[in-house]
Structures are given as structure tokens and as C-alpha cells.
């Protein structure tokens, strides 16, 4: 017990709040936050808060972690605490603004962004979020002012033109909206949002053929966006291309199987071509999402009757009539279904109700006609709705439309275009930019995210031997899909640090024991301690063949470098970034990977990782040589093909690059196809 306590004090002082090194714990916590281990990072920030409750940073970053865990109320409370300690940090207002938006407190968010802009008036992220907040409040004049200011700061910021176009749409200024959407396309023809937004406007203008062409381009650039297929289906529907519309709904539902509009509209189209059973399946889904959708219920009733399920049809009709007792068509359909099953009494009741309602309707119509004649004689104007608008209204309805008589109409989304085509609120400090980038580095870990397409297992005989020996607490995996730890897993590795520390005291010459604790520190995001243990593992390796220590040390050094660079975005402590980056350069990373290759020349992942490093250094020709070697070892190495393809494109060899990307797509990397589309044009 004394040895256990001694090892805890000697090797893991972070848990002892009385002796805590807050600078070091903050660095580890921010590592965890950056690499999306949110639960783990909160535990570290708690330690700093307990030791030094007067610091603003741990409250701010803990709030950011909570924001990513969708704890918006907790995030706002932590930002309140941070601002009470330091009201001059722009990032705090930025994060609290997002937390308030998620709670639909738009006015509070606006106040946060306006305050932050006093400190940083050229921050495009703040202007972006401020404009979107004003749009959500339907204060379109203020949103236009925000966007004008944003474009002064960043004249080529395409999202600002998209947002401004949507504001003009809300203000019924379609000319200005069209100009802004076209401006986006002119500035960046590869931005699918520009094409989609202009198509949306053209649908509103009934220019369906032109809209379809714009949506063709949007789909070409962004094949995984279900909304683009939904909108193209609408454009095709208005051109009476029902097969094309059906095909688009099929693709949209493959991408987004829970898309409500897709199922409803496909159900209507299937019904129109006599595919009744599959149409019923679509309406069953709609009703599983919204059991109170009476129009879907009525459509299903009609389909049930057509397939001979009269009892089911009567049940659906009766549910609709209980909500809409004056729905004449409902009684007609139920009357016919009751006749089919021999329910004479029920049929007579419906027949009597129909006659009664028809008489009432006739009396109302006569009274209305008399009123119209009088209005015309007095010089009142009639309905100024255009014929084209009436035609469109005859075919479509908004999802929020509750008029059950419109049950047969195609659904269009309620007017939420400003949120459909413009960017999301921005400001999560650790967010990565959405861009074409190489597949990530490989790592040795106990944990791996499952892949939605691929189920491959990466193998190397030496790693298999380690796993077979059961010298480590869990089997090692070779992966580039790391999984954040759960709270239980975090606690487990804290305990394992203690356990492995005691083993090191008795087995200091065993490299596996040092390596095991290094993995515990790495998974706990304590990179400095992990590197220290890996160095000890290398020194303890008398045979000189323990390459996993070199491999992991290179990986962790790279992650430190990535993290240090990220702090430029956070802009909290740039002097700390400069100091840290000097300590971890690329030479040390490359040297470790080269050592791995010397020890295990058949370990393809070392070549792959080194190729990634050379790619980052823009030494593309050397990177290609490493990817070549990785592929020579493993002909099915999808990520190596993908990265080599991108690297060749960077060198201007587009044809060979696309061939590699095609192979990567064939092996399961779906993103390769979007990249191929982008660079094929």
C-alpha cells in the first residue's frame, strides 16, 4: 500500500489538488479539448478550478467543452464565471453567444457579439454570427448592416453574400438576391451553396428548367447533400418529369433515410404511378415520425382502400374526420369503404352527412356570390394573386399547411432558406476548416471508431505478438480513427497509470511496462509524460527492436505540434505557442519514423505517416516515394492511395492523382469521389 501511494505521488501528481501544477494541467486539458476528448478535458479543468478558482481560462475552456457536449446552459454559466474574472477576452463572448443561440436567446447573443466587436472590430466570425442572429430575429435591416460591415472586413467572404442574398429574399427583393447568389458562383464556382441558393430562388420564380441546371451543378459538387436532391425533385415535378423526381427522392432518402419531406412526396409519386404498397411504406414512415399528420393518414387510407384493406382505410378516414369533421372528401371515401365491407348503417350515416354538408355548402356559396356582386358594384378590387402563383399553389403546399383538403399536394419546406444555404454559426475554437485534406496519421491505441463502410483490420506480426503475450491491459489496434474516451475509460486509465507506475519500480528494464504507462498518459492527453515514458522504453530496450515506442513518440510529437499551432486560432497565449513549437520540430518526428523503418521495414504505417509529414512540409515528391512504399507493402492501403492522389494533384499531375483517388474510393473512402468531381472539371 505504501509503494502504491508512493508511486501515485511520484508519477501522477496531477490528481493531488493541493500540489497541482496548474500550468501543466491546463496544457493537458486543452490537449484533450482540442482532440475532442470533452469529458476528459472537463475533469482536468475541474482540477484547475479547484486549485485556482480566480483564473478565467479553466471556466472558459470548460464552457467550450460543455458546448460541444450540447450542455448549453452549463456552457453559458461557465462563460459567465469567466467574464466575471476577465471581461476583455473576445473568445468568451463568442462561445457564450453560441450557447445563447442554442437556447434561442438571440437578443443575448447579439449583445455578446456587439460587445466582442468593440474589442475586435475586424473579426469576421463575430460579424457572421451577429448577422445570422439578427436574421433569426427577423431584423433584416440590422442584418444587412452587419453584412455590409463584414464585407468591408473581408470582401471575398462568400458566406456574407449568401446571407445577404437570403436577407434580400426575405425582403422580396429577388433582383438583389439573384445578384448576390451569382456573385458567390463567380467568386468560387466550386461552392455548391452558391448554386443551390440560386436554384432555390429560381424555383420561387418558377424558372424550373434553370433551377434544375443549377441544382445539377450543386449536386456535382456536393453529392451527399439530400436537400439538393429534394429541391431538384421539386423542379422536375413542376416540369412533369415524375420519373426524374422519383429518382431524386430515392437518392435523397439513401443519403438521409429519415427525411420527412422525401418520404411524403415519394409516397405521393408512388401512389400516382400505382405503386401503392411501397407508397404505404412511405406514409407509414411519415406517421411514425408524426402520428398526428392527418394528411399522411388520409393518403394512407386511400392507398389501403386501393389495396383491399378496407378496415384499415376506414380506421384512417375516421381518425381524420375526428379532427376535421367538415372534411367532405373524407366522408365520400369512408362511404365507399363501408359499402365494400357491407356496413350499410355506417354507409347510410356517411351518405346523410354528405347530403347535409352539400346543402350547407350550396347556401354559403349563394351568399358569397351575392356579396361579391355587391363588392364589385361598389368598386372594390378582386384578388390580385397571379395565375402562375395559383398554378403553383395548386400543386404544392408548405409543410406547416394544416388544410386537410391539400392532402394530395407535394410538400415544400417552410421558408427557412436563410438557415438552409448559409453557414452555421461559427466560433467553436477547436473546429477544423472544411477543406480537401489528407487522411490522418496512424496510431497504436486500444480504441477505434467504427467505420460506416469499411470493416478492415490493420495487422502487423510484431503487434500481433505483443497482443498474444497479453503484456498490455488491452489489445493494441493500428488505426487512424481514434475514439474519444468515455468517463469510465478515463477513470480506468487513471487507475492504470498508478498500476503501471508500481510495475516500473519493480521492472525498470522492461520496455513494455514503460510503453504501457505511456499509452495511459497519451490516452489521458498528457503528452509530455507519454513522451518521457516512451523515451525510457527505448532506453530499456536491449534488443533494439521495440519500434512501437519510436512510432508512438513520433505521433505524439506531431500531435503536440498540431496543438501548439492551433493556439494561434485561440489567440490566448501566442508567446506560449512560439516557445512550445521550438521544442518539437519536424526533424525529430521524421527521425523517429525513419528509425521505425530501419527496425521494421515491412511496417507500412511508418512510411504512410512519414509521407504525411513530408506532405505537410510540401515536399510532395518525397512524400509520394513514401506512399509508394506503403502501397508496395499493402496493395489495399486505401488511405495511402488517397493521400498519394492528393499529393500528385498538388504537383499538377491531375490524371494520375484522380486514378489514385478512384482506387481509394473503390477501397472504401467515399470522400474520394467528391474530390474527383472537384478536380475533374
Distance of CA 427 to the CA centre of its chain: 15
User: Within this chain, do residues 273 and 350 fall inside the same structural domain, yes or no?
Assistant: yes
Lowest mean pLDDT among 197-211, 250-264, 324-338, 396-410: 396-410
User: Within this chain, do residues 207 and 223 fall inside the same structural domain, yes or no?
Assistant: yes
User: Within this chain, do residues 91 and 235 fall inside the same structural domain, yes or no?
Assistant: yes
Lowest mean pLDDT among 363-367, 428-432, 470-474, 520-524: 428-432
> Residue 396 belongs to what H/E stretch?
strand 396-398
Instruction: Indicate if the alpha-carbon torsion angle 66, 68, 69, 74 is positive or negative.
Output: positive
Lowest mean pLDDT among 103-112, 393-402, 548-557, 608-617: 393-402
State the pLDDT confidence band at 16, using cuts at 50, 70 and 90: very low
How far lies 391's CA from each of 387, 409, 525, 625, in Å?
Answer: 6, 12, 62, 63
User: Within this chain, do residues 211 and 285 fall inside the same structural domain, yes or no?
Assistant: no
CA–CA separation, 210 and 406 (whole Å)? 27
| Residue 419 domain flag | no
Report which of residues 581 and 145 the model is more confident about. Answer: 145
State the pLDDT confidence band at 573, using cuts at 50, 70 and 90: very low
Distance of CA 587 to the CA centre of its chain: 35
| Residue 437 domain flag | no
- Mean pLDDT, to the nearest integer, of 327-331? 92
| Residue 560 domain flag | yes
User: Within this chain, do residues 167 and 191 fall inside the same structural domain, yes or no?
Assistant: yes
User: Within this chain, do residues 605 and 657 fall inside the same structural domain, yes or no?
Assistant: yes
Q: Indicate the SS3 state at residue 325.
A: coil
> Which position has the grid cell 474516451?
485
- Give the domain-ending residue among 333, 367, 401: 367
- Give the domain-ending residue among 351, 367, 383: 367
Instruction: Indicate if the alpha-carbon torsion angle 464, 466, 471, 472 is positive or negative.
Output: negative
Provide the β-strand partners of residue 396: 410
CA–CA separation, 358 and 158 (whole Å)? 57
CA–CA separation, 138 and 127 (whole Å)? 16
CA–CA separation, 535 and 538 (whole Å)? 5
End-to-end alpha-carbon separation of the chain, Å?
69
User: Within this chain, do residues 64 and 197 fall inside the same structural domain, yes or no?
Assistant: yes
Q: What's residue 371's pLDDT?
A: 60
Q: What's residue 12's pLDDT?
A: 39
Long-range CB pairs of 465-470 (<8 Å, 24+ gap) are: 466/512, 466/548
- Give the domain-ending residue among 236, 255, 274: 255
Q: What's residue 458's pLDDT?
A: 86
Average pLDDT value over all residues in the chain: 85
- Mean pLDDT, to the nearest integer, of 198-211? 93
State the pLDDT confidence band at 583, using cuts at 50, 70 and 90: very low
| Residue 5 domain flag | no
Q: What's residue 421's pLDDT?
A: 46
Q: What's residue 369's pLDDT?
A: 67
Pick the closest to residue 615 from 589, 636, 581, 592 (CA basis).
589
Q: What's residue 62's pLDDT?
A: 92
Instruction: Indicate if the alpha-carbon torsion angle 440, 444, 449, 451 is positive or negative.
Output: positive
Do 299 and 275 meet the contact criterion of CB atoms below 8 Å apart?
Answer: no
**Highest-pLDDT range among 30-44, 324-338, 434-448:** 324-338
Q: For residue 105, how many C-alpha atoms fall within 13 Å in the half-sphere facing its CB? A: 14
Angle among Cα 545, 548, 553 to the nearest 5 degrees reads 120
Cβ-proximal residues to 73 (8 Å cutoff; 6+ apart), any chain: 99, 103
Torsion of CA 182, 187, 190, 196, to 10 degrees: -20
How far lies 553's CA from each of 484, 533, 615, in Å?
Answer: 19, 9, 19
CATH number at residue 325: 1.25.40.10
CA–CA separation, 53 and 17 (whole Å)? 12
Pick the closest to residue 554 from 534, 540, 570 (CA basis).
534
Q: What's residue 584's pLDDT?
A: 47
Report which of residues 70 and 244 the model is more confident about. Answer: 244
| Residue 7 domain flag | no
User: Within this chain, do residues 148 and 236 fall inside the same structural domain, yes or no?
Assistant: yes
Angle among Cα 293, 296, 302 to the nearest 5 degrees reads 140
User: Within this chain, do residues 592 and 526 fall inside the same structural domain, yes or no?
Assistant: yes
Long-range CB pairs of 33-38 (<8 Å, 24+ gap) are: 33/61, 33/64, 33/65, 33/430, 34/430, 34/563, 34/566, 35/482, 35/484, 35/525, 35/559, 35/563, 36/68, 36/430, 36/484, 37/484, 37/485, 37/490, 37/525, 38/65, 38/66, 38/68, 38/69, 38/484
pLDDT in tens, 296-310: 999 999 999 999 999
User: Within this chain, do residues 241 and 267 fall inside the same structural domain, yes or no?
Assistant: no
Torsion of CA 282, 287, 290, 292, to 10 degrees: 140
User: Within this chain, do residues 308 and 319 fall inside the same structural domain, yes or no?
Assistant: yes
CA–CA separation, 628 and 479 (whole Å)? 20
pTM: 0.66
Domain that holds residue 320: 258-367
| Residue 675 domain flag | yes
Read off φ and ψ for residue 478, nearest 5 degrees: -100, 115
pLDDT in tens, 417-469: 434 544 455 544 333 333 578 999 999 999 998 765 555 678 899 999 999 99
Q: What's residue 291's pLDDT?
A: 92
User: Within this chain, do residues 235 and 281 fall inside the same structural domain, yes or no?
Assistant: no
Q: How is residue 94 written as a grid cell?
A: 463568442
Q: How many domains does the chain have?
A: 3
Do 268 and 410 meet the contact criterion of CB atoms below 8 Å apart?
Answer: yes
| Residue 380 domain flag | no
| Residue 30 domain flag | yes
Amino acid at each position: 500500500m505504501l509503494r502504491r501511494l508512493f508511486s501515485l505521488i511520484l508519477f501522477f501528481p496531477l490528481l493531488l489538488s493541493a500540489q497541482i501544477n496548474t500550468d501543466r494541467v491546463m496544457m493537458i486539458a486543452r490537449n484533450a479539448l482540442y482532440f475532442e476528448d470533452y469529458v476528459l478535458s472537463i475533469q482536468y479543468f475541474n482540477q484547475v478550478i479547484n486549485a485556482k478558482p480566480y483564473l478565467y481560462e479553466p471556466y472558459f475552456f470548460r464552457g467550450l467543452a460543455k458546448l460541444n457536449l450540447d450542455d448549453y446552459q452549463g456552457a453559458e454559466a461557465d462563460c459567465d464565471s469567466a467574464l466575471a474574472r476577465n471581461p476583455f477576452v473576445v473568445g468568451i463572448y463568442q462561445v457564450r453567444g453560441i450557447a445563447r443561440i442554442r437556447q434561442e436567446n438571440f437578443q443575448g447573443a447579439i449583445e455578446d457579439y456587439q460587445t466582442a466587436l468593440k474589442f475586435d472590430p475586424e473579426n469576421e466570425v463575430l460579424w457572421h454570427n451577429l448577422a445570422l442572429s439578427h436574421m433569426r430575429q427577423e431584423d433584416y435591416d440590422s442584418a444587412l448592416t452587419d453584412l455590409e460591415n463584414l464585407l468591408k472586413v473581408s470582401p471575398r467572404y462568400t458566406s456574407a453574400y449568401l446571407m445577404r442574398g437570403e436577407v434580400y429574399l426575405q425582403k422580396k427583393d429577388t433582383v438583389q438576391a439573384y445578384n448576390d447568389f451569382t456573385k458567390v458562383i463567380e467568386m468560387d464556382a466550386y461552392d455548391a451553396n452558391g448554386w443551390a441558393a440560386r436554384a432555390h430562388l429560381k424555383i420561387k420564380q418558377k424558372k424550373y428548367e434553370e433551377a434544375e441546371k443549377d441544382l445539377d451543378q450543386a449536386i456535382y459538387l456536393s453529392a451527399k447533400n439530400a436537400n439538393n436532391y429534394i429541391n431538384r425533385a421539386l423542379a422536375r415535378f413542376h416540369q412533369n418529369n415524375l420519373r426524374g423526381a422519383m429518382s431524386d427522392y430515392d437518392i435523397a432518402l439513401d443519403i438521409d433515410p429519415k427525411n420527412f419531406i422525401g418520404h411524403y412526396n415519394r409516397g405521393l409519386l408512388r401512389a400516382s404511378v400505382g405503386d401503392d404498397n411501397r407508397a404505404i411504406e412511405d406514409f407509414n414512415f411519415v406517421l411514425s415520425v408524426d402520428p398526428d399528420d392527418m394528411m399522411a393518414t388520409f393518403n394512407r387510407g386511400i392507398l389501403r382502400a386501393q389495396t383491399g384493406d378496407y378496415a384499415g382505410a376506414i380506421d384512417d378516414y375516421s381518425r381524420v374526420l375526428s379532427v376535421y369533421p367538415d372534411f367532405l372528401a373524407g366522408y365520400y371515401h369512408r362511404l365507399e369503404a363501408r359499402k365494400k365491407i357491407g356496413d350499410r348503417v355506417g354507409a347510410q350515416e356517411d351518405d346523410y352527412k354528405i347530403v347535409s354538408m352539400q346543402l350547407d355548402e350550396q347556401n354559403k356559396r349563394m351568399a358569397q356570390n351575392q356579396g361579391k356582386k355587391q363588392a364589385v358594384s361598389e368598386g372594390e378590387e378582386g384578388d390580385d394573386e397571379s395565375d402562375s402563383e395559383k398554378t403553383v399553389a395548386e400543386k404544392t403546399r408548405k409543410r406547416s399547411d394544416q388544410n386537410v383538403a391539400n392532402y394530395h399536394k407535394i410538400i415544400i419546406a417552410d421558408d427557412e432558406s436563410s438557415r438552409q444555404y448559409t453557414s452555421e454559426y461559427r466560433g467553436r475554437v477547436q473546429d477544423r476548416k472544411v477543406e480537401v485534406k489528407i487522411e490522418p496519421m496512424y496510431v497504436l491505441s486500444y480504441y477505434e471508431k467504427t467505420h460506416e463502410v469499411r470493416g478492415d483490420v490493420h495487422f502487423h506480426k510484431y503487434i500481433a505478438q505483443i497482443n498474444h503475450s497479453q503484456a498490455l491491459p488491452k489489445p493494441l489496434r493500428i488505426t487512424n480513427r481514434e475514439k474519444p474516451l468515455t468517463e469510465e475509460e478515463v477513470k480506468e486509465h487513471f487507475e492504470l497509470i498508478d498500476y503501471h507506475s508500481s510495475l516500473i519500480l519493480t521492472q525498470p528494464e522492461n520496455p513494455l511496462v514503460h510503453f504501457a504507462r505511456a499509452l495511459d498518459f497519451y490516452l489521458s492527453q498528457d503528452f509530455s509524460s507519454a513522451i518521457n515514458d516512451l523515451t525510457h522504453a527505448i532506453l530499456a530496450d536491449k534488443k533494439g527492436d521495440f519500434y512501437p515506442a519510436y512510432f508512438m513518440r513520433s505521433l505524439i510529437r506531431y500531435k503536440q505540434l498540431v496543438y501548439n499551432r492551433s493556439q494561434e486560432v485561440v489567440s490566448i497565449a501566442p508567446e506560449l505557442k512560439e516557445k512550445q513549437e521550438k521544442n518539437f520540430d519536424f526533424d525529430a518526428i521524421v527521425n523517429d519514423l525513419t528509425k521505425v523503418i530501419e527496425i521494421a521495414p515491412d511496417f507500412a504505417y511508418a512510411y504512410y505517416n512519414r509521407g504525411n509529414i513530408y506532405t505537410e512540409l510540401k515536399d510532395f515528391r518525397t512524400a509520394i516515394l513514401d506512399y509508394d512504399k506503403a502501397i508496395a507493402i499493402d496493395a489495399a492501403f486505401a488511405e495511402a492511395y488517397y493521400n498519394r492522389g492528393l499529393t500528385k494533384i498538388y504537383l499538377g499531375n491531375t490524371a494520375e492523382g484522380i486514378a489514385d483517388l478512384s482506387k481509394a474510393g473503390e477501397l472504401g473512402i467515399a470522400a474520394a469521389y467528391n474530390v474527383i468531381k472537384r478536380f475533374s472539371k
